Structure 1
């Protein structure tokens, strides 16, 4: 039990550091089995108390699209029984509910995790739908993610992450070119355009380091950006853990 608690503490500190570097904060919601729906309610309305409404919306969507969702129910649970259970207060949401939430609410979802790439559920273009941001802790709890300057009154303010904006600079043809160039075992320096995207997205100004990472990930700019950001946070995580032991955590935010 102690090991589990320690794991949660490390997860929280690491993720707080990652999000802080992006100008974001975690808004904690009640951990009662409704956390996913509470986090969605906070993002869309500014109050987690509307969670039941969003739960029922998601379950109804799954019922209405049975042919799409039934094959993904695990443990051979009958479809009707699964839906009845998911309607109950406190039942944990799974991957199926995240997908249904995106579709029925017409939103894209970005999930932030400690020391891991962000996970996106994109069912719509950026012009068609807004992006809600959630954090996922230790494999069992969701929270809402907002801008640091967001007063947390009403729906969450739109978040644009510089890293993701940088990724969009490279189109499909450029990525293909990067892959082809990286296939040579003698490749040690990459196109200046790729390096600039990584540099702008991470703040890293060490050209040798950027080229080295690009070589290690076979010219995948997205992977290079994620790798460098995670590496930059490692020292901050250690400092944050020490600070956490000395101080206290506010009740509303991690």
Structure 2
């Protein structure tokens, strides 16, 4: 089986020979098409098969510089209103970890928060079904995927989380007015997170004195 014949399907077993790849990164396609590590067999694998060409190395360096630049910019943006970032582990659970930190000042309750969010989605499937995208096709598929540990939270999960917590989730993003995801009728019921769209990552936000962050209605962009 060649790499190109494995493209587009998922199989139980794949045998890959690294002897004659067609070009840089051709092995990645085959690696992504096998269901388990136990089903992957690699032939003729040597350390000299792995290299990074100049263009890729240059792009990666540029991306790293851009990431640092954006981090500095959002840090400055938050500092201007008296806030600071609390770094959250990036393991796919970062949104729920950030919310856990907002509520309890630790990340450890992220699984419980995800579970409560999933229960709310199950109880209100008809309300959320019209907003499921083509990737999941049905609300049942969406809930099954979102219930998995490590699945990134999207707008539906975030909206459901806001409601179950009776909190307005304020999302900060570089260069944008903080966005309120409604969960409470009381403006002072707030939790604050920072979103990095290029990284698909959330961090927690607190005041510079480590107190809970708060913004007035005039400082927030409201959503329905």
The TM-score with structure 1 as length reference comes to: 0.59
The 5 Å alignment of 1:36-55 reads 36-55=95-114
User: Partner residue of 1:158?
Assistant: 212
Q: What is the CA-CA distance between 1:122 and the residue it aligns to?
A: 2.4
Q: Matches of residues 103-114 of structure 1 in structure 2 within 5 Å?
A: 103-114=163-174
Alignment pair present for 1:26 and 2:26: no
Q: CA RMSD in A?
A: 2.0
Structure 2: stretches of 5+ with no match in the other structure: 1-59
Question: 2:4 matched to which residue of 1?
Answer: none
| Larger strand fraction of residues | 2
Deviations 1:188-221 (A, max 9, x none): xxxxxxxxxxxxxxxxxxxxxxxxxxxxxxxxxx
CA distance in 2, matches of 1:102, 1:12: 26
* Aligned equivalents of 2:63, 2:186: Cα separation in 1: 38
Aligned to 1:97: 157
Structure with the bigger percentage of helix? 1
Higher alpha-carbon Rg:
2
Asked if structure 2 preserves the Cα contact closer than 8 Å seen for 1:8 and 1:137, the reply is no
Provide, for residues 144-189 of structure 1, a one-character-per-residue CA deviation record: whole Å limited to 9, x for no partner: 0001111xxxxxx33333xx36x38xxxxxxxxxxxxxxxxxxxxx
Measured against aligned partners, the alpha-carbon deviations of 1:93-146 in whole angstroms (never above 9, x if no partner) come to 00001100011111001111111111111232226x610010011341100000
* Aligned positions of 1:1-254 closer than 5 A: 1-75=60-134, 76-126=136-186, 130-139=189-198, 140-150=200-210, 157-161=211-215, 164=216, 167=218
Flag the 1:79–1:160 CA change in 2: closer, same or farther, 3 A.
closer
Uncovered stretches (5+) of structure 1, i.e. residues with no partner: 151-156, 169-221, 224-254
Structure 1 residue 7: Cα displacement: 2.4
Bigger drift between 114-123 and 47-56 goes to: 114-123
CA distance in 2, matches of 1:6, 1:85: 33
Shift in Å at residue 5 of structure 1?
Answer: 2.3
Aligned CA distance change for structure 1 residues 79 and 125 (closer, same or farther; 3 Å): closer
Q: Provide the TM-score with structure 2 as the length reference.
A: 0.66
